[in-house]
Amino acid sequence: MNRLVLACLVVVLAAMAPTLTFSAERADQKPVLRTGFVDFPPFKYVDKEGNASGPWIDMTEAVADEAGYKVEWVHLPIARVYLYLRTGKLDFWPGVANIPQIRDSVYESAATPMRVVLYAFHQKHVEAPEALASLEGKPLIMINGYSYLGALRELSLNDSDLSYAPGHESALRMLELGRGQYVLDYDEPVQAVKHQFPGLELTGTPIFEARGAFIVSRANPDAEVIVRQFDDAYKRLTESGQLQALQ
């Protein structure tokens, strides 16, 4: 009789084992945030294996893990990131605060993981612009698809003065060829490629600064909670010395 009971118990436990294992796996799973990723080397870029890489990527994943989430990276042009945040196809973006196109469609973290500075790059013999307004009427080279943090919205720029480059390297090449007086770009991406132009006496003048932030689409029903959790997680990691703001 005891053998019969033991055999039944073994059968019952064997039948339950997959369910118990599955439940444990489900309990360990973290919610996934579908996250926009825009090339911004050396902070964010696609590595040789096609994966999202760079210190801003690593920081975001560390803060997400501390906050109780996993990140699913989606490589997109910036205009598509804005669209998908508005429509809810993206949950999250480690990006720039106070962007006019999405301001009413997102919640932004109080945490500032980095500062983003826009520069006017030019050759040393060219006069440095004193302010954004100084660029009006000047031949400018711009990166195709960049919104420039909305900094140029108030300027009166003539289409005939604007040339567009597909990337940072090509923008500097256009400057070297005299296709414009100023390249509007960010410091770190330019520093990463300027060694390819040893004959270009390049200097940069900061003309606009914006705050980096963790940004959540309001289309996500838990958006406000997610922002608070990321703020709290970022604070814990920085106060413990595990993270530092990016420069």
Res 146: pLDDT: 79
**How many domains does the structure of the chain reveal?**
2
More confident residue, 77 or 224: 224
Look at the pTM and tell me if it is higher than 0.85: no
Domain membership flag for residue 9: no
Judge if 109 and 219 occupy the same domain: yes
Res 2: pLDDT: 55
Judge if 61 and 136 occupy the same domain: no
Judge if 88 and 143 occupy the same domain: no
Domain membership flag for residue 7: no
Judge if 149 and 220 occupy the same domain: no
Judge if 64 and 170 occupy the same domain: no
Judge if 224 and 102 occupy the same domain: yes
Residue range 86-105, pLDDT digits in tens? 999 999 999 999 988 999 99
The CATH number of the domain where 232 resides is what?
3.40.190.10
- Contact between 56 and 189 under an 8 Å Cβ cutoff? The reply is no
State the average pLDDT for the chain: 88
Domain membership flag for residue 95: yes
Tell me which residue of 28, 50, 29, 31 sits closest to 39, measured CA to CA: 50
Strand partners, 94: 214
121 has pLDDT over 90: yes
For 226, the domain range is 32-114+212-239
Res 21: pLDDT: 40
Domain membership flag for residue 150: yes
- Contact between 218 and 105 under an 8 Å Cβ cutoff? The reply is yes
More confident residue, 3 or 168: 168
Query: If you average pLDDT over residues 233-247, what whole number do you get?
Result: 92
Judge if 173 and 135 occupy the same domain: yes
Judge if 218 and 202 occupy the same domain: no
Residue range 43-70, pLDDT digits in tens? 888 888 889 999 999 999 999 999 999 9
Judge if 221 and 109 occupy the same domain: yes
Maximum C-alpha span of the chain:
99
DSSP for 152-192 reads TTTS---GGGEEEESSHHHHHHHHHTTS-SEEEEEHHHHHH
Res 24: pLDDT: 40
Judge if 132 and 70 occupy the same domain: no
109 has pLDDT over 90: yes
